[in-house]
Amino acid sequence: MITLKSAENVLKDVYLGVIADQINTKTNPLYGRIRRSTRNIVGKEVRVVAPIGINGGIMAGEETSDLPEGVNTPYLSFVAPLKNLFGRFEISDKAIRCSSTDVNSFVNLLQDGMDSLLKASIFNLSRMLYGDGSGLLATVKTSDGAVTVDNAGSIAAGMYVDITGSKTTNHVYVKSVDYATNKIVLDTQESITEGDKIYLSGSKDCEITGLKAIVGTGDLYGVNRTNFPVMNAKNYTASDEAFDEDFVQSIIDDLEMDGTAVNFINCSYKLKRLYQNYLKVYNKNVEYTTLEDGAKVITHFGTPIVPTRSVDDGECYFLNTDDFMFYELGDWKWLEDEGGRILKQSPTKASFGATLVKYTELLCHKPSGVGHVTNLKTTLGE
C-alpha cells in the first residue's frame, strides 16, 4: 500500500541524490566546470576577500642595499547575499489514490514528476548563469498575434512570466516558443507593447549574479567599479572582425597579457557554426575535445568553443573558469517542516507538493579577467 510516508521516503532516499547530481553535472558545460564551496558563508551572505594585485615587496638591489619593505598584497572585500533557488513538485491526491495499490504505476508517476522538475531546473539554472541577476528573460520588440522578443533563448514553453512596462501583467503562461524567429505565444497578450520586459514569474531581482551582471556596470559584490577598475570586465565591440582564428587569438592574447589564462570560450550557436565554416573554407584542421558532461565540442588550439542558446547571436565570452566559484550552504535539499515532512497539502487544491531548495551565489574573483565581445558578424563575408 502506497502512502504519503512511503512517497516521502522515496523522494528523500532515491530521487534527491539522483536529481541533485543531474542538476550539478548536466545543467550546462560552464556550470559543470565551476567549483562549489561551503566556505565564506557569514549569516545569509557570502563574504570573500579577493586580491587585486601582486605583492609589492620585491626588488633587485645592491649588495648592501636596504631590503625591500614588506608590503601586503592589496585585497577587496566581496559581499553578496545568498540567492534562494526553488523547484516545486506537485502530485494530485487523486493520482496518489489511483496508484496506491500499484507500485509500478506509483513509481512511474513520481518519475514523470521528477523528470519534469529536473528539466525545468536545468533550463533555468543554465539561463541564470548568463543573466544579470534581475530575472530578465527578454524585451518585447513587436506584438501582433505572437510576441516577438530580442532573444527567445531564455524562454521555454510551460514557463510562467511577469511582464512589466506600460502595464504590469503577472503570472502569464508561455504556450509556445519559436527560437528561429524569436516569437513566443502567451495565453494573454493584452496591452503588451514594444519595450516591455519579460521576467521569470516572481524572480525579479532575485536570481544569481550571472555573466551579464559581471560584464555590466554599477556596483558588483558591494564594490564600486568606478573606484576599482579591476572590477570591470574587458568588453570588446567588434566592427568588421570575423569570428575566426585570428580574432579569437587576439582576444586570448589580450587577456593573457593581463594575467588571465583563458580555458573556456562561450558563444552563440551561430558563432560556433561560423567558426566551423571558417575552418572548412580555409582547409584548417578541426580539433575536438570532450567536456566533463560528455559533450563533444570544437576547440581553438585546445580551448573549447562551447555554444549556448542563452548567449546572443553576435556575442561571446572568454573565461578562466578557475576564477569563478559557487558559494552555497549545501547541495540541493527538500524543504522540510519541523516533523521532517516534505509532502504538504496545498491549502487551495487537492494536491500535495514538495519543494527542492538551494541557497547559493556565483562569485567571480577576478572580473577584469572576463572577456566579453559583442556585435560580431554571424556569417562569413557579412
**Mean pLDDT estimate for the chain:** 90
Q: Picking from 65-69, 285-289, 301-305, 365-369, which range would have the lowest pLDDT averaged per residue?
A: 65-69
pLDDT at 102: 75
Domain, as residue range, for 164: 136-200
Q: For residues 257 and 370, state if they share a domain.
A: yes
pTM of the model: 0.89
pLDDT at 381: 59
Please name every residue paired with 374 in a beta bridge, in sequence order, or none if there are none.
237
Q: Picking from 95-99, 152-156, 236-240, 325-329, which range would have the lowest pLDDT averaged per residue?
A: 95-99
110 membership: H or E segment, kind and range:
helix 103-129
How large is the average pLDDT for residues 348-363?
92
Give domain status of residue 293, yes or no: yes
Q: For residues 127 and 142, state if they share a domain.
A: no
Q: 364 vs 25, 49, 205, 317, CA distance in Å?
A: 20, 12, 19, 14
Choosing from 154, 175, 200, the residue where a domain stops is 200
Q: For residues 157 and 194, state if they share a domain.
A: yes
Choosing from 173, 200, 227, the residue where a domain stops is 200
Q: For residues 370 and 227, state if they share a domain.
A: yes
pLDDT at 96: 79
Has residue 308 got a pLDDT over 60?
yes
d(CA 217, CA 56): 29
pLDDT band with cut points at 50, 70 and 90 for residue 104: confident
First-last CA distance in the chain:
66
How large is the average pLDDT for residues 66-76?
75
Give domain status of residue 63, yes or no: no
The CATH number of whichever domain residue 312 belongs to comes to 3.30.2320.10
Q: For residues 12 and 94, state if they share a domain.
A: yes
How large is the average pLDDT for residues 241-264?
94
- For the ranges 240-249, 321-330, 335-344, the one whose mean pLDDT is highest: 321-330
Q: For residues 19 and 109, state if they share a domain.
A: yes
Q: For residues 120 and 159, state if they share a domain.
A: no
Give domain status of residue 44, yes or no: yes
Q: For residues 34 and 110, state if they share a domain.
A: yes
Q: Into how many domains does the chain fold?
A: 3
Q: For residues 124 and 151, state if they share a domain.
A: no
Give domain status of residue 193, yes or no: yes
Give domain status of residue 64, yes or no: no
Q: 156 vs 123, 140, 261, CA distance in Å?
A: 8, 15, 35
Top-confidence residue, 222 or 100: 222
pLDDT at 55: 67
pLDDT at 257: 94
Question: What whole-number percentage of the chain has pLDDT above 90?
Answer: 61
Has residue 231 got a pLDDT over 80?
yes
Q: For residues 120 and 18, state if they share a domain.
A: yes
Give domain status of residue 160, yes or no: yes
pLDDT band with cut points at 50, 70 and 90 for residue 71: low
> Can you spell out the DSSP letters for 192-244?
--TT-EEEETT-TT-S---HHHHTSSS-BTTB-TTT-GGGS-EEEE-SS--SS
Give domain status of residue 209, yes or no: no
Give domain status of residue 66, yes or no: no
Has residue 324 got a pLDDT over 70?
yes
Q: For residues 221 and 278, state if they share a domain.
A: yes
Q: For residues 121 and 10, state if they share a domain.
A: yes
The grid cell for 65 is: 642595499
Choosing from 200, 230, 256, the residue where a domain stops is 200
The CATH number of whichever domain residue 160 belongs to comes to 2.40.30
* pLDDT single digits (tens) 158-182: 999 999 998 889 999 999 999 989 9
- Which residue in this structure is represented by grid cell 571558417? 278
pLDDT at 322: 96
